Amino acid sequence: MESITLNVENVTGFIPESEIEKWQSATSGHLQHLIRRDGQGNDFLGWLNLPSSITDQHMEKIEASALKLRQSSDVVVVIGIGGSYLGARAVNDALSHSFSAMGSGQKNPRMIFAGHNIGEDYMHELLEMLEEKEYSLIVISKSGTTTEPAIAFRILRENLESRLGKEKARSRIIAITDQKKGALRQLADEEGYDSFVIPDDIGGRYSVLTPVGLVPLAACGFDIRSLVKGAAEMESRCLTDAAFSQNPATLYAAARNLLYRQGKKVEILVNYNPKLHYLAEWWKQLYGESEGKELKGIFPAAVDNSTDLHSLGQYIQEGERMLFETVLSVREPDHRLTIPGGEANLDNLNYLAGKRIDEVNKMAELGTTLAHVDGGVPNMKIELPKINAFFLGQLMYFFELACGVSGYLLGVNPFNQPGVEAYKKNMFALLEKPGFEEETRKIKNRG
């Protein structure tokens, strides 16, 4: 069976292979902490064996509910922020036609997003666009009171009900929330919305294979069974007694932590296929929120090449040597397109005539890797045979598992996010939210 692969050859010039192998015991030990569920944050490990535990009955329920939205809608608005939308968006953008926003290649509803910002113009323009569309809502929030999605849902629900009437609008809303408590659970029960549960033991950034990711993807016609199958294959591959060098999750965790200890404080996730832009955004949240605590952590950044070779490429090549790169490489694109010859050859490109565009892209990738390694930037390479649901499932589970091991190697709890609350307290105080009167007084006195 084909699989994604990890290549660390361009790290061993900076860290001897023998040094990486010395970490075999530590990484294997931390992997066992995850498997035994006896490490930090062990109450948030529901994702660990999730792919292999998803039942046909669960998938059928998701598909049946999603089908109702797919049959009634031109657009599915996914309302959520952070892990409540990034996983679905990563898969959606990777598998969609590049110009689906213009209607190209669209047989199923388009997935669009709300509640991931507080932009007034964005919301106004979203409502303008929806005036011409049949649309449905998937609202994702464990509590139902997270500010950004709660505002968006209030506005969009009112709009949908005023257009369709309350009864018909109910059939166009799916709520994904806590099983028993919270404002959204109460509303879903009162209104009779189709609803799905966010498991208590899975944090948002690890939730793409829960209904948080699967329901929106199914509603827009994507093959969620292949996504789960790919993740289950990677789960089986990595949660075994495979040799250290054959376990991509532990090898990646070890290499990136060794580089960190050498002063490489920034990891850049590089892609050469624009469809993977939001996969990198999902990865940035996964690693940034998991590792950035206790004044520690590798800063996750991303570039879209070759585009960013004409902007950030100069810094990566010759700037401060505090970074390393992990390159996402796609072996085979979906389409074939060759470069034509030109009789006048005014652009001097006839040497490329007859070559596939992807061959040029691959040489840009290889040439850049060689230049960056020569310039002091360690590189790892993750190769996907193709961009499809199966290999995306593999990749996302690989990153999740490696993140858990990597956080333990770093000495932090990779499953909490205490720093996320700091801005909220200030925002609530400034908005004079009830219950924050003392904080409001203190923050106003600072002015």
Measured CA to CA, the distance from residue 441 to residue 432 in angstroms comes to: 9
- Out of 120, 128, 190, 310, pick the active-site residue: 310
- How many Å from the N-terminal Cα to the C-terminal Cα in the chain? 62
424 part of the active site: yes
CA-angle at 398, arms to 386 and 219, nearest 5°:
65
On the CB side of 114, CA atoms within 13 Å amount to: 29
Cβ pair 292, 281 in contact under 8 A: no
Which residues are CB-contacts of 153 (< 8 A; sequence separation ≥ 6)?
79, 115, 137, 139, 141
DSSP 169-229: HHTTEEEEE-SS-SHHHHHHHHHT-EEEE--TT--GGG-TTSHHHHHHHHHTT--HHHHHH
**Residue 289 is a catalytic residue:** yes
- Residues whose CB falls within 8 Å of the CB of residue 439, separated by 6 or more in sequence, listed in order: 425, 426, 428, 429
Instruction: Select which of 22, 180, 424, 444 is catalytic.
Output: 424
- CA–CA separation, 27 and 402 (whole Å): 10
Asked if 123 and 156 count as a contact pair (C-beta separation under 8 A), the reply is no
Token couple for 422: 């700091």
Q: Which long-range contacts (CB under 8 A, 24 or more apart) does 195-200 make?
A: 196/61, 196/62, 196/65, 198/140, 198/142, 199/46, 200/46
List C-alpha distances in Å: 347 to 228, 235, 306: 47, 49, 19
Active site residue 190: no
> What is the 8-class DSSP label of residue 338?
B
Q: How many Å apart are CA 99 and CA 103, to the nearest integer?
A: 7
**What are the percentages of helix, strand and coil residues in the chain, rounded to 5?**
55, 15, 35
Q: Which of 267, 289, 291, 365 is catalytic?
A: 289
Beta bridge partners of 304: 271
Q: How many CB atoms lie within 10 A of CB 361?
A: 17
Residues taking part in catalysis:
289, 310, 424
